[in-house]
């Protein structure tokens, strides 16, 4: 073979590689729903008609705007015509900020597609030339982020609304009462809160099952919505109670309004597959005092009135300062074993799901399952407040098993998600409860490959051999194993290697204000580097700011978790998620 022939073959192979690389890049861009463009200003630098605009790939652009390549907008003015609402001015302001070479912007706005839909896109752009009299050249990319916006809307919805009934939840009701009280004080009006508790829901659950109880709650919510008119507000404030905020209501009117609502809710039966069901109510109310008062105080006063209504067989009771509190709030440290067993039997132990996202793409990777306990009055309590009591009472393994049972249903209902489950130290240290947990885990079958089991570092530090055995058993089932709160107990990486963890979660104390604390940055960088040496994934928990998130990404952390990426919610927020019952 001649040298020239060899050179030609070499060049041909290089051209093939370049073509193949471009095709791969286009495939990746299409998977991201991204469309790159180049924009160069014309001679005047002002009129869009003089600008030169082109897409890097018309097929990618057609995925955003239309189904046919020939309908893709191929000029600046044609693209601008597709912008919705005030997006034009926002984008023009972003373009004007590119005042120097290397300047960038990122902006979200809606565009109108050729089939009439409005979709959210993210535009990122960078000025690469344009100094002096040279035309300004901008490169950018438009990405379809409709799915992400939908998830954000879902997160906002579930933060304020009850999943079963669609009414406001307790948190949103507290906000509404705060505004209602402030309005009343400002304009010297009276406001009131009426609370209605379904007193026979427990009996319905026991006789007909929880599905019948849930059906009854939904039906009561529909009737309540129909008889409450703005500006009055209503919500489901606990598992068995509804609240109605009356914005302009004198004390003598409160009972009349409460009786009218009660008649609407209880006069006629509710249809069900088991026949007609009747709802029985206890009802109480309180008029908000003229002096400053918190929403919590107002709701507690109404709850006290309802407790007295129960004793009076559902007769309306108005709160008065001399009305004794029948059931003082129980502290979590005062919980008994019977209290926890009762909460389990009444299905008041539930899960909240918090997303963990890829550090680079910010797409959800999996959800951590966090235990929640619902008090008798409906308040939701996080695990940190009752797990210690359960460990002291030697029944925490029951909570771990309950969490696994709920998670199993979640995995079955959402075949596309992955979850992380925390297991308590007491469960793992006791051979009997550890084996029972592993047996239940095995019952997940093929879904085990979508489960991460988390064990706190302090447990692993106390007995590395025990932690290693448990890790081996968990991983043999197909699950991944993670060490939680890593760094809090200063576990050596020698122990980490012995335990064979797939993942470590860096303790939140090292993550909080990371971008402002140089010594924390050194420590996190060291942990990430060593973890990468052992092929162990890293998670940063309690990420609280964009600056911290960006720094953690640069340091090589794999996954991020924190309120800025998603609050713990009653269901995992995935696209097209149906409502589910826990």
Domain boundaries, the chain: 1-30, 32-144, 166-318, 332-561
Residue 560's pLDDT is 96
Residue 296's pLDDT is 85
Q: Bridge-partner residues for 318, per DSSP?
A: 285
In 239-363, the DSSP E strands lie at 241-246, 281-287, 317-318, 349-358
pLDDT digits (tens, 9 = 90+) for 72-130: 888 888 888 888 878 888 888 888 888 888 888 888 999 888 878 888 989 999 999 88
**Residue 455 host element (H or E):** strand 451-456
Assign 190 to helix, strand or coil.
Answer: coil
CA distance 312 to 389: 35
Is the pLDDT at 348 greater than 80? The verdict is: yes
**What is the average pLDDT score of the chain?**
83
- From 222, 284, 223, select the one nearest 257 (Cα to Cα): 284
CA distance 528 to 534: 10
Residues of the chain with pLDDT > 70, as a percent, come to 85
| Token pair listed for 36 | 């790159």
CA distance 138 to 102: 10
pLDDT: which is higher, 341 or 326: 341
Residue 359's pLDDT is 94
Is the pLDDT at 158 greater than 70? The verdict is: yes
Architecture per CATH, domain 32-144, reads as: 2-Layer Sandwich (3.30)
Whether residue 231 is preceded by a cis peptide bond, meaning omega within 30 degrees of 0, is yes
Residue 581's pLDDT is 33
Residue 577's pLDDT is 40
Residue 325's pLDDT is 74
Is the pLDDT at 49 greater than 80? The verdict is: no
Give the DSSP letter string of 149-172. HHHHHHHHHHHHB-TTT-SB-HHH
Handedness of CA 211, 217, 218, 220 (dihedral sign): positive
pLDDT digits (tens, 9 = 90+) for 529-582: 988 988 899 999 989 888 899 999 999 999 999 988 888 888 786 544 433 333
Residue 18's pLDDT is 41
Helical ranges in 312-352 per DSSP H: 337-345
- From 263, 285, 297, select the one nearest 181 (Cα to Cα): 297
**Residue 192 host element (H or E):** strand 192-198
Is the pLDDT at 446 greater than 70? The verdict is: yes
Q: What is the CA radius of gyration of the chain?
A: 30
In 11-92, the DSSP E strands lie at 34-40, 52-55
307, 326 Cβ separation under 8 angstroms: yes
pLDDT: which is higher, 444 or 247: 444
Q: CA angle, corner 549, sides to 546 and 553, nearest 5?
A: 140
Assign 356 to helix, strand or coil.
Answer: strand
Classify residue 544 by its DSSP letter. -
Is the pLDDT at 14 greater than 60? The verdict is: no
Is the pLDDT at 48 greater than 60? The verdict is: no
Give the CATH class of 166-318.
Answer: alpha beta
Q: Which of 298-307, 309-318, 387-396, 453-462 has the lowest mean pLDDT?
A: 453-462
Residue 269's pLDDT is 92
Residue 577 has phi, psi (to 5 degrees) of: -75, 125
- From 438, 426, 429, 506, select the one nearest 467 (Cα to Cα): 429
Is the pLDDT at 212 greater than 90? The verdict is: no
**Residues 6 or more apart in contact with residue 320 via CB below 8 angstroms:** none
CATH fold of 332-561: TIM Barrel (3.20.20)
Residue 566's pLDDT is 85
Count H helices and E strands in the chain, helices first: 21, 19
């Amino acid at each position: 073979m001649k040298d020239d022939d060899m050179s030609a073959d070499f060049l041909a192979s290089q051209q093939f590689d370049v073509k193949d690389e471009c095709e791969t890049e286009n495939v990746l861009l299409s998977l991201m729903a991204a469309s790159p463009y180049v924009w160069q200003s014309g001679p005047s630098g002002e009129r869009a008609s003089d600008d030169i605009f082109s897409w890097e790939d018309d097929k990618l652009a057609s995925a955003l705007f239309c189904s046919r390549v020939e309908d893709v907008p191929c000029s600046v003015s044609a693209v601008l015509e597709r912008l919705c609402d005030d997006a034009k001015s926002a984008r023009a302001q972003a373009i004007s900020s590119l005042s120097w070479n290397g300047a960038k912007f990122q902006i979200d706005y809606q565009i109108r597609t050729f089939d009439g839909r409005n979709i959210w896109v993210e535009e990122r752009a960078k000025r690469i030339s344009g100094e002096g009299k040279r035309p300004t050249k901008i490169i950018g990319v438009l990405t379809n982020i409709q799915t992400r916006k939908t998830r954000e809307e879902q997160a906002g919805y579930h933060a304020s609304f009850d999943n079963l009934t669609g009414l406001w939840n307790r948190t949103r009701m507290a906000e509404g009462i705060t505004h209602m009280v402030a309005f009343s004080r400002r304009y010297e009006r009276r406001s009131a809160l009426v609370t209605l508790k379904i007193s026979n829901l427990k009996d319905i659950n026991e006789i007909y099952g929880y599905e019948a109880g849930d059906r009854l709650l939904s039906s009561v919510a529909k009737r309540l919505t129909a008889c409450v008119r703005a500006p009055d507000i209503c919500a489901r404030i606990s598992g068995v109670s509804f609240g109605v905020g009356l914005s302009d209501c004198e004390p003598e009117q409160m009972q009349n309004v409460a009786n009218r609502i009660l008649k609407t809710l209880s006069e006629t039966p509710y249809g069900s597959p088991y026949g007609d069901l009747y709802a029985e109510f206890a009802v109480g109310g309180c008029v908000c005092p003229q002096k400053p008062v918190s929403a919590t105080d107002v709701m507690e006063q109404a709850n006290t009135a309802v407790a007295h209504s129960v004793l009076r067989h559902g007769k309306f009771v108005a709160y008065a300062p001399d009305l004794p509190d029948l059931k003082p709030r129980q502290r979590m440290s005062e919980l008994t074993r019977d209290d926890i067993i009762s909460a389990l039997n009444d299905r008041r132990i539930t899960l909240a799901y918090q997303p963990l996202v890829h550090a680079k793409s910010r797409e959800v990777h999996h959800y951590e399952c966090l235990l929640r306990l619902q008090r008798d009055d409906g308040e939701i309590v996080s695990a940190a407040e009752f797990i210690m009591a359960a460990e002291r009472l030697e029944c925490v393994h029951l909570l771990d098993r309950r969490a696994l049972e709920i998670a199993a249903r979640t995995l079955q209902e959402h075949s596309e998600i992955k979850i992380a489950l925390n297991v308590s130290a007491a469960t793992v240290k006791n051979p009997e409860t550890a084996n029972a947990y592993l047996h239940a885990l095995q019952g997940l079958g093929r879904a085990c490959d979508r489960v991460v089991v988390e064990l706190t570092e302090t447990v692993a530090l106390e007995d590395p051999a025990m932690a290693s055995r448990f890790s081996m058993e968990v991983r043999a089932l197909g699950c991944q194993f993670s060490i939680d709160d890593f760094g809090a107990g200063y576990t050596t990486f020698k122990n980490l290697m012995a335990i064979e963890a797939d993942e470590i979660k860096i303790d939140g104390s090292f993550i909080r204000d990371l971008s402002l604390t140089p010594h924390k940055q050194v420590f996190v960088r060291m942990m990430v580097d060593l973890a990468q040496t052992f092929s162990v994934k890293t998670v940063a928990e309690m990420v609280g700011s964009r600056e911290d998130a960006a720094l953690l990404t640069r340091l090589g952390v794999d996954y991020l978790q924190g309120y800025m990426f998603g609050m713990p919610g009653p269901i995992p927020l995935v696209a097209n998620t149906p409502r589910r019952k826990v």
